[in-house]
Amino acid sequence: MDIHLQPWSEPALGLLRRINTPQMRHHVGGPEPEEKLLARHRRYLAMPETGRGCMYAILLGNEMVGSINYHQRDWRGEQIYETGWNVLPPYQGRGIAAAAGTALIAIASEAARQPDSPRHLHAFPSVDNASSNALCNRLGFTLLGACDFEYPAGSGTLMRSNDWCLDLVDLTRTGPLPA
């Protein structure tokens, strides 16, 4: 399976619109209006310039089939990397999210080697999102427990999530995870 990550670009706006559906956004509060979607797209485009993370389109061959990211944020008084992903429904259940997650972990572990970079990668899937929670487990994250998590950041809206954590520094000593 030819899965690779491509940094977010203007053409990825079409992918973002395909993700912005009731089915895809069920666990994170539902679809966003166009103005918020465009603002999100602009934030994704600007992420690499901040040096605090990157959004990627997941490509199967040359087709955009999902998205995945990591970015720095404060969590409980510590700087961490947070990750999240989406795979379009026709492509779910094929191992695409696991392959993309493995690729992203390799990228984030390289970032964690930089001075003053976070050492932990967290994922915060809804407690009701069985497939995303199973993926965290498959990728080697440790479940720290359920928590109230603000999503989107700065919105004041809390969702009940599981806090999964992966130590990127220990990972860099042991090598990448198998796909």
Question: What pLDDT, on the 0 to 100 scale, is given for residue 154?
Answer: 74
Tell me which residue of 147, 155, 105, 142 sits closest to 126, measured CA to CA: 147
Question: What pLDDT, on the 0 to 100 scale, is given for residue 176?
Answer: 45
Residue type, 176: P
Tokens at residue 105, please? Answer: 């972990």
Question: What pLDDT, on the 0 to 100 scale, is given for residue 57?
Answer: 98
Tokens at residue 94, please? Answer: 């094929």
Does the N-terminal peptide bond of residue 176 adopt cis geometry, omega within 30 degrees of 0? no
DSSP 77: T
Task: Point out which residues pair with 152 in neighbouring strands.
Answer: none
Question: What pLDDT, on the 0 to 100 scale, is given for residue 170?
Answer: 84
Q: Which domains does the chain have, with CATH numbers?
A: 3-174 (3.40.630.30)
CA distance readout (Å), 154 to 33, 34, 109, 128: 17, 19, 27, 22
C-alpha dihedral sign at 18, 89, 131, 94: negative
pLDDT per residue of the chain (179 residues) written in tens, 0 to 9? 899 999 999 999 999 999 999 888 887 878 899 999 999 999 999 999 988 899 999 999 999 999 999 999 999 999 999 999 999 999 999 999 999 999 999 999 999 999 999 999 999 999 999 999 999 999 999 999 999 988 777 778 888 999 999 999 886 544 444 44
